[in-house]
Structure 1
Amino acid sequence: MSAPQVDLLAQLPDLIADRIKLRLPDLRQCKGMVGGFDLEELKRQGIQAPAVLVSRLGVAPMPTLAGPHRRYAVSMAAFIVTRDAMGLSRDIALGNIASVLLQVVPDNCWQIAGVGPADKVEERVLVNRDARQATAALAAIVWQQPLTLTPHPDATPMPVELYLGGDLQGEVGI
Protein backbone atom coordinates (compact mmCIF):
# COMPACT_ATOMS: atom_id res chain seq x y z
CA MET A 1 0.00 0.00 0.00
CA SER A 2 1.34 3.41 -0.78
CA ALA A 3 1.76 5.92 2.01
CA PRO A 4 -0.89 8.59 2.71
CA GLN A 5 -0.06 12.11 1.55
CA VAL A 6 1.65 14.27 4.15
CA ASP A 7 -1.09 16.89 3.70
CA LEU A 8 -3.99 14.39 3.53
CA LEU A 9 -6.22 16.25 6.00
CA ALA A 10 -5.75 19.53 4.16
CA GLN A 11 -6.32 18.02 0.72
CA LEU A 12 -9.10 15.52 1.53
CA PRO A 13 -12.08 17.82 0.76
CA ASP A 14 -10.64 18.85 -2.63
CA LEU A 15 -9.72 15.26 -3.53
CA ILE A 16 -13.25 14.05 -2.76
CA ALA A 17 -14.80 17.05 -4.57
CA ASP A 18 -12.80 16.14 -7.69
CA ARG A 19 -14.27 12.59 -7.59
CA ILE A 20 -17.81 13.92 -7.05
CA LYS A 21 -17.45 16.34 -9.98
CA LEU A 22 -16.78 13.33 -12.22
CA ARG A 23 -20.18 11.86 -11.22
CA LEU A 24 -22.02 15.21 -11.37
CA PRO A 25 -20.43 17.08 -14.30
CA ASP A 26 -23.31 19.57 -14.61
CA LEU A 27 -22.56 21.21 -11.25
CA ARG A 28 -21.59 24.85 -11.63
CA GLN A 29 -19.32 24.55 -8.59
CA CYS A 30 -17.83 21.57 -6.80
CA LYS A 31 -14.97 22.32 -4.45
CA GLY A 32 -13.49 21.50 -1.08
CA MET A 33 -13.51 23.62 2.05
CA VAL A 34 -13.07 23.30 5.81
CA GLY A 35 -15.83 23.88 8.34
CA GLY A 36 -19.57 24.36 8.27
CA PHE A 37 -21.77 26.10 5.74
CA ASP A 38 -25.00 28.05 6.12
CA LEU A 39 -27.15 30.65 4.37
CA GLU A 40 -24.96 33.56 5.52
CA GLU A 41 -21.93 31.86 4.00
CA LEU A 42 -23.93 31.27 0.81
CA LYS A 43 -24.76 34.98 0.58
CA ARG A 44 -21.20 36.03 1.41
CA GLN A 45 -19.52 33.73 -1.11
CA GLY A 46 -22.04 34.06 -3.93
CA ILE A 47 -22.04 30.32 -4.69
CA GLN A 48 -23.32 29.51 -8.18
CA ALA A 49 -25.98 26.80 -7.99
CA PRO A 50 -26.20 23.94 -8.43
CA ALA A 51 -23.16 23.35 -6.25
CA VAL A 52 -21.63 20.78 -3.94
CA LEU A 53 -19.15 21.97 -1.31
CA VAL A 54 -17.22 19.13 0.34
CA SER A 55 -16.04 19.94 3.84
CA ARG A 56 -13.99 18.41 6.62
CA LEU A 57 -15.86 19.17 9.85
CA GLY A 58 -13.66 17.48 12.45
CA VAL A 59 -11.48 14.51 13.36
CA ALA A 60 -11.90 12.00 16.20
CA PRO A 61 -9.81 8.95 17.15
CA MET A 62 -11.09 5.48 16.31
CA PRO A 63 -10.28 2.28 18.24
CA THR A 64 -6.84 0.95 17.38
CA LEU A 65 -6.71 -2.39 15.60
CA ALA A 66 -3.74 -4.74 15.51
CA GLY A 67 -0.53 -2.87 14.85
CA PRO A 68 0.81 0.56 15.67
CA HIS A 69 -1.38 2.59 13.30
CA ARG A 70 -3.73 5.12 14.74
CA ARG A 71 -7.01 5.46 12.90
CA TYR A 72 -9.18 8.54 12.79
CA ALA A 73 -12.79 9.16 11.81
CA VAL A 74 -13.07 12.36 9.81
CA SER A 75 -16.52 13.95 9.89
CA MET A 76 -17.25 14.96 6.31
CA ALA A 77 -20.12 16.83 4.67
CA ALA A 78 -21.11 17.51 1.09
CA PHE A 79 -23.24 20.66 1.22
CA ILE A 80 -25.72 20.84 -1.66
CA VAL A 81 -26.89 24.25 -2.91
CA THR A 82 -29.68 24.55 -5.48
CA ARG A 83 -31.90 27.33 -6.81
CA ASP A 84 -34.98 27.37 -8.97
CA ALA A 85 -34.14 27.01 -12.66
CA MET A 86 -36.23 26.95 -15.81
CA GLY A 87 -38.25 23.72 -15.66
CA LEU A 88 -36.58 22.40 -12.48
CA SER A 89 -37.46 23.44 -8.94
CA ARG A 90 -34.74 23.79 -6.34
CA ASP A 91 -36.29 21.01 -4.23
CA ILE A 92 -36.26 18.50 -7.10
CA ALA A 93 -32.67 19.47 -8.02
CA LEU A 94 -31.68 19.05 -4.36
CA GLY A 95 -33.27 15.58 -4.26
CA ASN A 96 -31.57 14.55 -7.51
CA ILE A 97 -28.11 15.58 -6.33
CA ALA A 98 -28.67 14.02 -2.88
CA SER A 99 -29.73 10.75 -4.56
CA VAL A 100 -26.49 10.58 -6.53
CA LEU A 101 -24.37 11.37 -3.46
CA LEU A 102 -26.22 8.77 -1.37
CA GLN A 103 -25.20 6.22 -3.99
CA VAL A 104 -21.61 7.43 -4.43
CA VAL A 105 -20.46 8.09 -0.86
CA PRO A 106 -21.16 4.84 1.08
CA ASP A 107 -18.12 2.54 1.26
CA ASN A 108 -16.11 4.85 -1.01
CA CYS A 109 -12.36 5.15 -0.35
CA TRP A 110 -12.05 7.72 -3.18
CA GLN A 111 -8.92 5.92 -4.48
CA ILE A 112 -6.84 7.81 -1.90
CA ALA A 113 -4.02 6.05 0.01
CA GLY A 114 -4.70 5.80 3.73
CA VAL A 115 -8.46 6.39 3.38
CA GLY A 116 -10.94 3.71 4.41
CA PRO A 117 -14.55 3.15 3.28
CA ALA A 118 -17.05 5.93 4.06
CA ASP A 119 -19.55 4.99 6.74
CA LYS A 120 -22.65 6.32 8.56
CA VAL A 121 -23.90 8.24 5.51
CA GLU A 122 -27.06 10.32 5.95
CA GLU A 123 -28.83 13.37 4.55
CA ARG A 124 -29.64 16.47 6.58
CA VAL A 125 -31.95 19.04 5.00
CA LEU A 126 -30.95 22.56 6.04
CA VAL A 127 -33.82 24.48 4.46
CA ASN A 128 -35.38 27.13 6.66
CA ARG A 129 -37.52 30.24 6.17
CA ASP A 130 -34.50 32.43 5.36
CA ALA A 131 -33.30 29.98 2.71
CA ARG A 132 -36.75 29.88 1.13
CA GLN A 133 -36.78 33.68 0.97
CA ALA A 134 -33.38 33.57 -0.74
CA THR A 135 -34.88 31.06 -3.23
CA ALA A 136 -32.23 28.50 -2.31
CA ALA A 137 -32.41 24.94 -1.06
CA LEU A 138 -29.67 23.63 1.20
CA ALA A 139 -28.89 20.12 2.39
CA ALA A 140 -25.87 18.16 3.50
CA ILE A 141 -24.85 14.57 2.99
CA VAL A 142 -22.76 13.77 6.08
CA TRP A 143 -20.54 10.77 6.75
CA GLN A 144 -17.56 9.39 8.63
CA GLN A 145 -14.40 8.80 6.59
CA PRO A 146 -11.86 6.59 8.39
CA LEU A 147 -8.22 7.20 7.64
CA THR A 148 -4.72 6.73 8.88
CA LEU A 149 -1.99 9.33 8.61
CA THR A 150 0.93 6.87 8.79
CA PRO A 151 1.88 4.35 6.11
CA HIS A 152 1.28 0.65 6.59
CA PRO A 153 4.40 -1.46 6.05
CA ASP A 154 4.50 -3.41 2.82
CA ALA A 155 3.67 -7.04 3.40
CA THR A 156 6.63 -9.38 2.92
CA PRO A 157 5.55 -12.32 0.77
CA MET A 158 5.87 -15.72 2.39
CA PRO A 159 7.99 -18.22 0.42
CA VAL A 160 6.07 -21.19 -0.91
CA GLU A 161 7.62 -24.46 0.23
CA LEU A 162 6.32 -28.00 0.25
CA TYR A 163 6.99 -30.16 3.30
CA LEU A 164 6.55 -33.95 3.19
CA GLY A 165 6.78 -36.30 6.09
CA GLY A 166 8.95 -39.41 5.95
CA ASP A 167 11.85 -40.57 3.83
CA LEU A 168 12.24 -38.67 0.58
CA GLN A 169 14.13 -41.60 -0.99
CA GLY A 170 11.26 -43.98 -1.21
CA GLU A 171 8.37 -44.42 1.05
CA VAL A 172 6.42 -41.60 2.56
CA GLY A 173 5.61 -42.25 6.19
CA ILE A 174 2.21 -41.70 7.68
Structure 2
Amino acid sequence: MPLSAWQAAAMRIVPTLARFQPRRVVVPAPSPYTTGLRDRGWVFDTAWKRPEGVGATAGWLAATLAARTRVAGGLGIRVPVLVASADSTGPDRLDNPRHGSQDTVVDVAAIERVAAGLGSDVERLVVPGSIHDLALSADEPRERYLDAVRVFVDKVLE
Protein backbone atom coordinates (compact mmCIF):
# COMPACT_ATOMS: atom_id res chain seq x y z
CA MET A 1 0.00 0.00 0.00
CA PRO A 2 1.38 3.43 -0.79
CA LEU A 3 1.56 5.32 2.53
CA SER A 4 2.25 8.92 3.38
CA ALA A 5 4.96 9.62 5.95
CA TRP A 6 2.45 10.13 8.77
CA GLN A 7 0.56 6.95 7.82
CA ALA A 8 3.80 4.95 7.88
CA ALA A 9 4.60 6.35 11.32
CA ALA A 10 1.09 5.54 12.60
CA MET A 11 1.40 1.98 11.30
CA ARG A 12 4.15 1.32 13.87
CA ILE A 13 1.54 1.16 16.64
CA VAL A 14 -0.84 -1.15 14.74
CA PRO A 15 0.72 -4.48 15.89
CA THR A 16 0.34 -3.45 19.53
CA LEU A 17 -3.22 -2.23 19.00
CA ALA A 18 -4.05 -5.46 17.14
CA ARG A 19 -3.06 -7.58 20.17
CA PHE A 20 -5.73 -5.86 22.28
CA GLN A 21 -8.35 -4.73 19.75
CA PRO A 22 -7.90 -6.74 16.53
CA ARG A 23 -11.37 -5.86 15.19
CA ARG A 24 -11.03 -2.13 15.74
CA VAL A 25 -11.40 -0.26 12.45
CA VAL A 26 -8.39 2.02 12.18
CA VAL A 27 -8.71 3.08 8.55
CA PRO A 28 -12.18 3.76 7.19
CA ALA A 29 -12.22 2.51 3.64
CA PRO A 30 -14.44 4.13 1.06
CA SER A 31 -13.49 2.40 -2.15
CA PRO A 32 -13.03 4.63 -5.20
CA TYR A 33 -11.35 1.59 -6.78
CA THR A 34 -14.57 -0.45 -6.56
CA THR A 35 -16.68 2.50 -7.65
CA GLY A 36 -14.38 2.95 -10.65
CA LEU A 37 -14.83 -0.71 -11.63
CA ARG A 38 -18.60 -0.25 -11.67
CA ASP A 39 -18.28 3.03 -13.58
CA ARG A 40 -16.23 1.18 -16.22
CA GLY A 41 -19.01 -1.37 -16.70
CA TRP A 42 -18.04 -4.30 -14.48
CA VAL A 43 -21.03 -5.99 -12.86
CA PHE A 44 -20.52 -7.81 -9.57
CA ASP A 45 -22.22 -8.65 -6.29
CA THR A 46 -21.82 -5.53 -4.16
CA ALA A 47 -22.43 -7.58 -1.02
CA TRP A 48 -19.01 -9.15 -1.70
CA LYS A 49 -17.20 -6.08 -3.08
CA ARG A 50 -18.81 -3.00 -1.60
CA PRO A 51 -18.33 0.42 -3.22
CA GLU A 52 -18.50 2.02 0.24
CA GLY A 53 -15.55 -0.19 1.17
CA VAL A 54 -14.74 -2.18 4.25
CA GLY A 55 -12.76 -0.55 7.04
CA ALA A 56 -9.28 -1.91 7.66
CA THR A 57 -9.05 -3.39 11.14
CA ALA A 58 -6.00 -3.35 13.36
CA GLY A 59 -5.75 -7.15 13.07
CA TRP A 60 -5.89 -7.09 9.28
CA LEU A 61 -3.32 -4.30 9.07
CA ALA A 62 -0.99 -6.08 11.52
CA ALA A 63 -1.24 -9.29 9.46
CA THR A 64 -0.53 -7.30 6.29
CA LEU A 65 2.54 -5.70 7.86
CA ALA A 66 3.82 -9.08 9.05
CA ALA A 67 3.31 -10.57 5.58
CA ARG A 68 5.11 -7.66 3.91
CA THR A 69 8.06 -8.14 6.26
CA ARG A 70 8.14 -11.87 5.54
CA VAL A 71 7.97 -11.35 1.77
CA ALA A 72 10.71 -8.71 1.90
CA GLY A 73 12.97 -11.29 3.56
CA GLY A 74 12.45 -13.75 0.71
CA LEU A 75 10.21 -16.79 0.58
CA GLY A 76 12.17 -19.48 -1.24
CA ILE A 77 9.19 -20.69 -3.29
CA ARG A 78 10.32 -23.80 -5.17
CA VAL A 79 7.95 -23.67 -8.13
CA PRO A 80 7.84 -21.18 -11.00
CA VAL A 81 6.24 -17.88 -10.01
CA LEU A 82 4.67 -15.25 -12.26
CA VAL A 83 4.58 -11.82 -10.64
CA ALA A 84 2.32 -9.52 -12.63
CA SER A 85 1.52 -5.88 -12.00
CA ALA A 86 0.53 -2.61 -13.55
CA ASP A 87 3.27 -0.27 -14.74
CA SER A 88 2.46 2.58 -12.36
CA THR A 89 0.84 3.46 -9.06
CA GLY A 90 -1.48 6.38 -8.51
CA PRO A 91 -3.93 7.76 -5.99
CA ASP A 92 -7.20 5.92 -5.40
CA ARG A 93 -9.36 8.92 -6.20
CA LEU A 94 -11.95 9.13 -8.94
CA ASP A 95 -10.49 12.48 -10.02
CA ASN A 96 -7.21 10.70 -10.84
CA PRO A 97 -7.18 10.86 -14.66
CA ARG A 98 -5.40 7.46 -14.78
CA HIS A 99 -7.68 5.77 -12.23
CA GLY A 100 -8.69 3.19 -14.83
CA SER A 101 -5.15 2.51 -16.09
CA GLN A 102 -2.85 2.21 -13.06
CA ASP A 103 -2.72 0.39 -9.74
CA THR A 104 -4.42 2.51 -7.10
CA VAL A 105 -4.22 -0.16 -4.38
CA VAL A 106 -0.62 -1.43 -4.20
CA ASP A 107 2.68 0.32 -4.87
CA VAL A 108 4.11 -1.37 -7.98
CA ALA A 109 7.63 -0.25 -7.02
CA ALA A 110 7.30 -2.36 -3.86
CA ILE A 111 6.27 -5.35 -5.97
CA GLU A 112 9.35 -4.84 -8.12
CA ARG A 113 11.63 -4.68 -5.06
CA VAL A 114 10.47 -8.01 -3.62
CA ALA A 115 9.62 -10.06 -6.72
CA ALA A 116 13.06 -11.65 -7.26
CA GLY A 117 13.20 -12.81 -3.64
CA LEU A 118 10.06 -14.91 -3.92
CA GLY A 119 11.92 -17.90 -5.30
CA SER A 120 14.56 -19.17 -7.69
CA ASP A 121 12.34 -19.13 -10.80
CA VAL A 122 10.47 -15.83 -10.89
CA GLU A 123 9.15 -14.26 -14.06
CA ARG A 124 8.19 -10.59 -13.88
CA LEU A 125 5.34 -9.23 -16.02
CA VAL A 126 4.55 -5.53 -16.15
CA VAL A 127 1.36 -4.70 -18.05
CA PRO A 128 1.16 -1.05 -19.16
CA GLY A 129 -2.25 0.52 -18.66
CA SER A 130 -3.53 -2.18 -16.31
CA ILE A 131 -5.13 -1.73 -12.91
CA HIS A 132 -4.70 -3.55 -9.59
CA ASP A 133 -6.83 -6.54 -10.64
CA LEU A 134 -5.17 -7.06 -14.00
CA ALA A 135 -8.03 -9.25 -15.22
CA LEU A 136 -10.41 -6.32 -14.67
CA SER A 137 -8.34 -3.90 -16.74
CA ALA A 138 -9.49 -2.37 -20.01
CA ASP A 139 -9.59 -4.71 -23.01
CA GLU A 140 -6.03 -4.28 -24.35
CA PRO A 141 -4.09 -4.62 -21.08
CA ARG A 142 -6.42 -7.42 -19.91
CA GLU A 143 -5.76 -9.40 -23.10
CA ARG A 144 -2.01 -8.78 -22.80
CA TYR A 145 -2.13 -10.06 -19.22
CA LEU A 146 -4.25 -13.14 -20.00
CA ASP A 147 -2.07 -14.02 -23.00
CA ALA A 148 1.04 -13.83 -20.80
CA VAL A 149 -0.59 -16.06 -18.16
CA ARG A 150 -1.44 -18.63 -20.86
CA VAL A 151 2.16 -18.60 -22.12
CA PHE A 152 3.51 -18.91 -18.57
CA VAL A 153 1.22 -21.84 -17.71
CA ASP A 154 2.02 -23.61 -20.99
CA LYS A 155 5.77 -23.18 -20.30
CA VAL A 156 5.44 -24.48 -16.75
CA LEU A 157 3.41 -27.50 -17.86
CA GLU A 158 5.85 -28.53 -20.62
Is the shorter-chain TM-score for this pair beyond 0.5, marking a shared fold? no
TM-score, normalised on structure 1? 0.25
| Structure with greater helix percent | 2
- Larger Cα-atom Rg: 1
